[in-house]
Structures are given as structure tokens and as C-alpha cells.
């Protein structure tokens, strides 16, 4: 994405990272979906690799417990 001043009229409205609707500069929330605009690339994403690995580990533990329960039950 190139910063071309000829194609950016005035203060370019930021696009909502969730729904893509233009958000007025300085507006804390998206008018379309209500997403807080502070939840941008600068903020840590809640779906980080660490949380994904933790979720995968939790699923693996639940799967293992289910397999053990099935083997014990029969
Ligand atoms: Zn939005």
C-alpha cells in the first residue's frame, strides 16, 4: 500500500478492522458493529499463538480423558 497524497482526500477515515466500515478519525467505536477501534493491530490479538496452543492442549487433554473414560467403561 503506497501513501499517495493525491488519492487520500483529507484525513483518511480508518476502516473498521472487523466489518470494514469507515470510522471517523477520533471515534472510539465503529458505528456499524460497535467494535472499539483501539482493538487494532497495535493491541495484542486475543487469538495469539500462545492462546491457540493452550486451546489445542486443552482439547487434547479432553480428548485423552474421553478416550480413557471409554476404555475404562467397557
Ligand atoms: Zn465495524
Write out pLDDT tens, residues 39-67: 555 555 666 777 788 889 999 999 999 99
Q: Where are the domains of the chain?
A: 11-43, 45-74
- Span from the CA of 15 to the centroid of ligand 1 (angstroms): 8
**CA 65 – ligand 1 centroid, Å:** 40
**Cα-to-centroid distance, 27 and ligand 1 (Å):** 12
Q: What is the number of H-type helices and E-type strands within the chain?
A: 1, 2
> Residue 16's pLDDT band (boundaries 50, 70, 90)?
confident
- Contacts of 11 by beta carbon, 8 Å cutoff, 6+ apart: 25
Q: Which is higher by pLDDT, 57 or 18? A: 57
pLDDT given for residue 71 in this prediction? 95
Q: What is the rounded CA–CA span in Å between residue 20 and residue 25?
A: 14
Amino acid at each position: 500500500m503506497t501513501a499517495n497524497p493525491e488519492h487520500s482526500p483529507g484525513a483518511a477515515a480508518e476502516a473498521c478492522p472487523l466489518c470494514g466500515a469507515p470510522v471517523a478519525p477520533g471515534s472510539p467505536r465503529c458505528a456499524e458493529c460497535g467494535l472499539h477501534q483501539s482493538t487494532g493491530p497495535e493491541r495484542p490479538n486475543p487469538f495469539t499463538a500462545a492462546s491457540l496452543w493452550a486451546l489445542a492442549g486443552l482439547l487434547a487433554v479432553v480428548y485423552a480423558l474421553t478416550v480413557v473414560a471409554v476404555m475404562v467403561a467397557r
